[in-house]
Structures are given as structure tokens and as C-alpha cells.
Structure 1
Amino acid sequence: MRIELNEKVFGGRVILGPLALEVERGQRVALLGPSGIGKSTLLRIIAGLDRDFDGRLSGDDRLAVVFQEPVLLPWRKALDNITIPTGCDTATARDLMAQVGLSGHEGQFPRQMSLGQQRRLALARAFAVRPDILLMDEPFASLDAETAARMIGLTLELLERSGAGLIHVTHDTGEPARLAARPLRLGGSPAVLLG
């Protein structure tokens, strides 16, 4: 996956300036910077969710996104929240639920699960598509320190097992090291990659 961005305009203001970023399967980077700098916007462009930008996005990598909120189907049971959006088979979905510690929760609806469980379900769903690169937008925000640490460890295990690359948006300067990700900072106005 490679993005060569000239600019991204939002509300008549240039929020992202010239930048280039390339991530391959197995590589991990973390995008850091203050709130409102454009980290999530850049991730949405990379994910193909925002096509209104001046630049070029290339690569045929299979991508999966884990958002800050779990974005689950509230009217579907946990197992269906993996199989329906991804098209994976039930056995694969059950295996992924086991890997994230959700065995026995297959028949629960999202509202019956804690936020930590919902985020683990969203992580399992992301890996069900067998991504080349996993995109994560502050998925550990608003979790208590112990739950966040478990989620980071679980994410690292799944990344290492699958060989997927990672682009991780975070405010936490400690997360990149814990995910073995190269930190890249967005800064300036318009924001550019500072390294």
C-alpha cells in the first residue's frame, strides 16, 4: 500500500499537506500527533473511505479496519458479526473468537458484551478477512489500563501469527513500541509526516 498525498481539504481548509507513506505486509507503523491534526483522516483515505483528496493511493493489499468504536451489528449475534460482513465460514469465525478469548460468547448480542469484549470481537472480525495490512484508529482508547494492555498483547499475537502489516493511529506514545511499530509523527499546518 502506498499513498502519495498532495493535499486534503476539509471545510475549505487544507488539513493534510504533501506526504508519502508506504507500508507492506509485515511492516508496522504508528501515526502519532495531537487531536485534530488529521491522523484519522489519513487513515480513512488509506482505507478508501474518503476519496475526496488530491493524490494517489496504490496497491492491491487486502485491508481491514478496526475503528475506535467497535462498529458492530447490534441486531446480530457475535458469530454473525464476523461471518456476515467478512463472508468467512463459521469454523474460521469460531476459531478467531477463541483466539481473542470469546469462546462461549458466539450467541450473545453486542449489547450483552462489555466494551472490551466488543473490541475483541471487532478485532476478530478484522482478522477474518485475512488482511495484508490492518488499519487501527485508536482502538484502545477509553479502555482501562489493564484491558488496553491485554488488547495490545492480543493484537500483537494476531499480527505475528498472520504476518499482517499495521498502520495504527494513537495518542499514546507508548503503544508503538508495545506493538513493535515504527512511530511517525504528523505535525504542522497543514499536517505533514515529520518522521
Structure 2
Amino acid sequence: MRLDLQGKAFGPRAVLGPLSLTAGRGQRLAVLGPSGIGKSTLLRIVAGLDHAFAGHLSGDDRVAMVFQEPTLLPWRPALQNITIPTGCDAATAGALMAQVGLAGREAQFPRQLSLGQQRRLALARAFAARPDILLMDEPFASLDPDTADRMIALTAGLLDRSGAGLILVTHDAEEPARLGARPLILSGSPATLGPAPTDAR
């Protein structure tokens, strides 16, 4: 996947300036920056969800996205929250649920799961799509520290086993190192992408 962006604006407000971003299987990148700088906007462009930009997105990599919120189907049980969006079979979905610690909860509805469990279900759903690149938009935000630690370790393990690449959007300077991701900084107005300082973690 390669993005050559000339710019992105919302009406008269230029949000993103010229930048380039390349990722593929096995490559892990993290985009850091303050809230409102345009990190989620950049990720939506990479995901193919936002086409209203100047520039070019190329590549045929399969991508799957984990949003800030779990975005589950509230009227479907957990197992079907994986099988319906991804088209995978029940056995594959069940195996992924076991990998994220949700074995035995296949018939439970999202409202019966804690936020941490919902996040794990969303993570299992993303890997069920067998992505070449996993896109994550502040997926550990609003979790208590212990739950966030478990989610980060779980994500790292799933990435190791699958070989998928990663583009993580975060404001937490410690997350990239814990996921083995190369940190990049989104800054300025309009925002552009540059290397993180050498002491960034």
C-alpha cells in the first residue's frame, strides 16, 4: 500500500498537507500526534473509507480496521459478529475468539460483554478478515491500564502469528515500542508526516 497525498481539506480548512506513507505485510508503523491533528482522517484515507482527497492511494493489500469504538452488531451474538462481516466460517471465528480469550462467549450479545471483551471481539473480527495490513485507530483508548496492557500484548501476538503489517494511530508514545512499530509524527497545520524524535517511545 502506498499513499501519496497532496492534501485533504474539510471545506476551507486544510487538515492534511503533502505526505507519503508506505506499508505492507510485516511492516509496523505508528502515527503519533495530538487529538484533532488529523490522525483518524489519515487512517480513513488509507482504509479507503474517504475518497475526497487530493492524491493517490495504490496497492492491492487486504486491510482490516479496528476503530476507536468496537462497532459491533448489537442484534447479533458474538460469533456472528465475526462470521457475518468477514464471511469466515464458524470454526475459524471460534478459534479466533479462543485466541483472544473469549471462548465460551460465542452466543453472548455485545451488551453482555464488557468494553474490554468487546474490544477483543473487534480484534478477532479484524484478524478473521486475514488482512495484509491491520489498521488501528486508538484501539486502547478508554481502557483501564491493566486491560490496555493485555490488549497490546494480545495484538502483538496476533500480528506475530499472522505476519500482518500494522498502521497504528495513537497519542500514546509508549505504544509503538510495545508493538514493535516504527513511530512517525503527524504535526503542523496542515499536518504533515515526519520521523519521531530518537527518544520517542
TM-score bracket relative to the smaller structure: over 0.9
Question: What do the CA deviations read for 1:65-92 (whole angstroms, capped 9, x no partner)?
Answer: 0001000000000000000000000000
Aligned amino acid, residue 165 of structure 1: G
Compute the displacement of 1:110 (Å).
0.0
Question: What do the CA deviations read for 1:149-173 (whole angstroms, capped 9, x no partner)?
Answer: 0000000000000000000000100
SS in structure 1 at match of 2:168: strand
Aligned amino acid, residue 152 of structure 2: I
Q: In the alignment, what sits opposite 2:50? A: 50
Unaligned runs of 5+ in 2: 196-201
Aligned amino acid, residue 104 of structure 1: G
Q: In the alignment, what sits opposite 1:132? A: 132
- Output the CA distance in 1 between the equivalents of 2:102 and 2:35: 32
Q: In the alignment, what sits opposite 2:158? A: 158
* Count of aligned residue pairs for this structure pair: 195
Q: In the alignment, what sits opposite 1:173? A: 173
Question: What do the CA deviations read for 1:81-119 (whole angstroms, capped 9, x no partner)?
Answer: 000000000000000000000000000000000000000
Compute the displacement of 1:194 (Å).
1.9
**Considering only aligned residues, what root-mean-square deviation do their CA atoms show, in Å?**
0.4
Aligned amino acid, residue 55 of structure 1: G
- Output the CA distance in 2 between the equivalents of 1:127 and 1:11: 35
Aligned residue runs from structure 1 range 12-23, under 5 A: 12-23=12-23
Aligned residue runs from structure 1 range 183-194, under 5 A: 183-194=183-194
Aligned amino acid, residue 188 of structure 2: G
Q: In the alignment, what sits opposite 1:94? A: 94
* Correspondence 1:121 to 2:118: no
TM-score by length of 2: 0.96
SS in structure 1 at match of 2:78: coil
Percent of residue pairs identical: 75
Q: In the alignment, what sits opposite 2:38? A: 38
Unaligned runs of 5+ in 1: none
Aligned amino acid, residue 132 of structure 1: D
- Output the CA distance in 2 between the equivalents of 1:76 and 1:35: 33
Q: In the alignment, what sits opposite 1:105? A: 105
Compute the displacement of 1:11 (Å).
2.8
Q: In the alignment, what sits opposite 2:7? A: 7
- Output the CA distance in 2 between the equivalents of 1:128 and 1:194: 32
- Output the CA distance in 2 between the equivalents of 1:194 and 1:181: 15
Question: What do the CA deviations read for 1:103-149 (whole angstroms, capped 9, x no partner)?
Answer: 00000000000000000000000000100000000000000000000
Q: In the alignment, what sits opposite 1:147? A: 147
- Output the CA distance in 1 between the equivalents of 2:187 and 2:139: 21
Aligned amino acid, residue 192 of structure 2: V
